[in-house]
Amino acid sequence: MESSLQISGFEVLSAQSAEAARETINKVGIGRISVILSDYRLPNQTGTQLLEWVRSLDSCLSTMIITGQDEKAIVEESISVGVFQYLEKPVTHQFLREVVGKAAEETSLKRKYQADRRGLKELENLDQSMNDVVPESLQDRMTVFYRPLHEVGGDFLITHQYEDDRHVVVVGDVAGHDIRSGFVSTYFQGMFKGSLESGGDIEKAFELSNRSLLMRRAGVGQNQDLISLSLSAIDLRNGDDSIRHWNFGLGPCVIVSDNGVIELCETGQFPLGWIPEIETDAQHINLESKSLLYIFTDGLADFADTLKVNLFSLLYRFLHRFNESEDLPVMPSDDILLVRFLLNTSMPLSQTFEPILSEHYAGTELEHIDHLQSNWRRSISFALDDRLGDRLYDLLICIREGMINALTHGCEKSADKFAHLQISINEDKDTLRIYIDDPGKGHEFDLVARLERLGNERGENLGLGIIQHLSDSFKVENKGTSLVFDFSITPDKN
Amino acid sequence: MTSDFLKEDISALMECKLDTRKGRLHVEIKSDVTSSNVGDLRKGLLEIFKDQGMDDWRFLYLDMRNARMVDSMGMNWLFAENVRLSDHGKKLVVRISSPAIHRVMLFTGLDKLVTLKYRRRKQTR
């Protein structure tokens, strides 16, 4: 058998016992061996015992056992320890050559696959460490949630600190969400980082990236996708009263004020790699009374749509109580990267209002109020679980009344007039704050005073009276076009 | 004597049973009571009155224990039905289990006009 294999071109090492085989394998190194054949009957032990030991060292290595005819029990034992094939004596030269060749090929494929997986795992760890680690200088201000679709993602995060207590944060998203996007994002991540660390302005990095993407576009074949880069960046210096902000193709970043009002920043320009001339002048965001900034990639909104919850409910859940095995009935279809940045450093994070829902509704949505209500319920429950207890329905009644009022009177049931519903949460105050704004003219009289005078009489203001009664605090702003009411989060124990 | 009333178009919203021995007409509402369905509830109740007649009962037992919430339009409907029943010399008894509905009914003062039977039950829907 040995000479038969040698004639076929195999390099063969032979041993007369299991003990001698172990010595040979240890001496040569198991990684150099492609196939192991063993007789079942060996001095002192069986061939399957030897091959079990071999597979414990290298599960990719193909092993074969040689038996006499009709030894069914041996065959079953061999299969149970993962033997590649068993050979019944007598074995022909041609059959031996074929079967050992296939076994060697199988070993090679398995080892390559294992090496690829190991490499991807290392890449995954590297990708994770590059994208969700917050530098020490920003530990008390910045929170990152990163979940790539594959081992490496097309989303990336860059933070850079200049010497003068000035920070730059860049959130990027390379088109696509496959391994290729992961490599491209790493390339741009490195380019941005290198440019910033060598003292360059961020504007230069935008221009450099755009040029690089456009140059690549010239050589792209018809069947290849164009690569583009969406990104959102901020540049802030401690003590300044504004931050500089750029957005190339990413969804708008979100600013939350000290009292819980949610504002969307401008969406900005096309992604990098689309057009030759880009505008690198920054938008300036005034920080007065602003407490939080959120930047996130498109994957967050896509996944919120899939889960049929509001984007901010998902965002809150990811940042506060995310348990991958419990929280994902379906898988995301894109990488997700989100960054929360504390703008007001004099205010601890727990004292800020964090958004859990923000939606604009046209006046015509009034006829779908039940559907809207089920969306609110699903989103609030998704963000807060059962924390509201039975008060969830008090809250839903109030939101319903407020939105019916806004869509009917403020928006006049019109398709081109929009009301804005926002819900934010303040953990320290144990409070949910609801804002309902409409574009109406408002009224000159004092609505709250009128509601108090009305007491519990029925009438056209009954809905607002119910809000005032069920909520923990209630006020109107902007001549009654904005309703603001608070709800305690902790369930009523009575 | 008890008779069953089932009419396809309103059976999804409400069901009724007449208990002539006790003089009670029981109407069970299967949903929330809001602006979205008060029109149908009003029509449904009128159908029930038409079908059952107004002579064999004195109390309308409105079972809202399936409802999780009531809004201002729903409350207006309840007040209006109470006025209609009073005009016919009937009394309205409302059964509820939702704390949210209970709070709204206390605020609006419905509890002073009708008999309100409230037994709290955790909302599971």
Q: How far apart are CA A324 and CA A177, in angstroms?
A: 19
Q: Is residue B60 part of a domain?
A: yes
**Per the domain annotation, does B123 fall within a domain?**
no
Distance separating alpha carbons of residues A216 and B116, to the nearest angstrom? 75
Cα angle vertex A40, ends A30, A105, to 5°?
A: 40
CB contact B66 to A (< 8 Å): no
A454 and chain B: CB distance < 8 Å anywhere? no
Identify the helix (H) or strand (E) that includes residue A60: none
User: What stretch of H or E contains A384?
Assistant: helix A369-384
Q: Is residue A310 part of a domain?
A: no
Question: Between B61 and B11, whose confidence is greater?
Answer: B61
Indicate the average pLDDT of chain B. Answer: 90
Cis amide bond preceding A348, omega within 30:
no
User: How is residue B78 written in tokens?
Assistant: 């309840």
Please state, in angstroms and rounded to a whole number, the distance separating the CA atoms of residues B41 and B24: 19
Q: Which of B75, B99, B122 is opposite residue A462, by nearest beta carbon? A: B75
Total domains, chain B: 1
Question: What is the model's pLDDT at position A448?
Answer: 65
Q: What is the pLDDT of residue B5?
A: 46
| Distance of alpha carbon A168 from the chain centroid | 22
B68 touches chain A (CB under 8 A): yes
- CATH number of the domain that residue A99 is part of: 3.40.50.2300
A308 falls within a domain: no
**Is residue A321 in a domain?**
no
**Of A122, A157, A192, at which residue does a domain stop?**
A122
The count of other CB atoms within 10 Å of the CB of residue B121 is 12
Of B98, B107, B122, the CB nearest to A466: B107
Candidates A209, A306, A192, A288; CA nearest to A248 is A209
List, for residues B9-22, the tens digit of each pLDDT value.
678 889 999 999 99
Buried b (16+ CB within 10 A) or exposed e, B50-85: eebeeeebebbbbbbbbbbbbbbbbbbbbbebbebb
Report d(CA A306, CA A336) in Å as an integer. Answer: 13
Name the closest residue on chain B to residue A370, using Cα atoms: B36
How many folded domains does chain A comprise?
3
Q: Domain holding A283: CATH number?
A: 3.60.40.10
Tracing tokens 């009708």 back to the chain, one arrives at B114
Q: Is the residue at B124 inside a domain?
A: no
A97: in domain? yes
Q: How far apart are CA A461 and CA A174, in angstroms?
A: 51
- In this structure, the strands spanning B24-29 and B14-19 are antiparallel
ipTM of the complex: 0.87
Q: Which of A66, A101, A122 is the last residue of a domain?
A: A122
- Boundary (domain end) residue, out of A314, A345, A376: A345
Are A396 and B69 an interchain contact pair (Cβ–Cβ within 8 Å)? Answer: yes
* Contact call for residues B99 and B118 (beta carbons, < 8 A): no
* A174 burial level (CB within 10 Å; 0-12, 13-18, 19+): buried
> What phi, psi does B109 have (nearest 5°)?
85, 15
A330 residue type, one letter = V
Flag whether A116 is in a domain: yes
From B36, B101, B109, residue closest to A456, measured CB to CB:
B109
Statement to judge: residues A144 and A293 lie in one domain: yes
Q: What is the pLDDT of residue A369?
A: 97
3-state helix, strand, coil in chain A (%, to 5): 40, 25, 35
Smallest CA–CA distance, residue B79 to chain A, in Å, is 9
Would B31 be classed as within a structural domain? yes
Asked if A208 and A75 sit in the same domain, the reply is no
Closest CA relative to residue A182, chosen from A148, A146, A153: A153
Q: Are residues A115 and A137 in the same domain?
A: no
- Domain assignment present for residue B125? The answer is no
Interface contact flag, B34 A391, Cβ < 8 Å: no
- Interface-testing mutation among B65, B71, B114, B125, with chain A (most A C-beta atoms within 10 A): B71
Which amino acid is located at A434 in the chain? I
Residue B59 has pLDDT above 60, yes or no: yes
- Residue B72 maps to which CATH number? 3.30.750.24
Q: Over its length of 494 residues, how does chain A's per-residue pLDDT go in tens digits?
A: 788 888 888 899 999 899 999 999 999 999 999 999 998 888 888 888 898 899 899 989 998 888 776 676 777 777 766 776 778 777 888 888 888 999 999 999 998 988 888 877 777 777 777 777 788 888 889 999 988 887 777 889 999 988 778 899 999 998 866 777 778 888 888 888 899 989 888 999 999 999 988 887 766 665 666 788 999 999 988 888 899 999 999 999 999 999 899 999 887 789 998 888 899 999 999 999 999 999 999 999 999 999 999 999 999 999 998 776 665 678 888 889 999 999 988 888 889 999 999 999 999 999 999 999 999 999 999 999 888 888 899 999 999 999 999 999 999 999 999 999 999 999 999 999 999 999 887 766 666 666 666 554 556 678 988 999 999 999 988 777 899 999 998 865 44
Please indicate, yes or no, whether residues A265 and A176 belong to a single structural domain of this protein. Answer: yes
- Residue A493 confidence (pLDDT): 43
pLDDT at A239: 82
- Shared domain check, A63 and A207: no
pLDDT at A398: 96
Q: Which residues contact A225 (CB under 8 A, 6 or more apart)?
A: A175, A176
Query: Does residue A137 lie in a domain region?
Result: yes
Is B108 close to A390, i.e. CB distance below 8 A? Answer: no
Closest CA to A158 of A120, A122, A196: A196
Q: Is residue A263 part of a domain?
A: yes
Q: Which conformational region is residue A379 in: left (phi greater than 0), alpha (psi within -120 to 50 degrees), or beta?
A: alpha
Structural domain span for residue B56: 2-118
Range of the domain at A340: 132-297+334-345
pTM for this predicted structure: 0.79
Element (H, E) at A89: none
Question: What is the spatial distance between Cα A20 and Cα A334, in angstroms, rounded to a whole number?
Answer: 54
Interval B45-70 mean pLDDT? 95
Helix, strand, coil tally for chain B in percent (to 5): 40, 25, 35
Q: Dihedral of CA A205/A207/A212/A216: which sign?
A: positive
Read out DSSP for A114-158? HHHHHHHHHHHHHHHHHHSPPPGGGTTTEEEEEE-SSSS-SEEEE
Inter-helix orientation angle A462-470/A447-454, to 10°? 90
Does the pLDDT of residue B3 top 60, yes or no? no
| pLDDT higher at B57 or A133 | B57
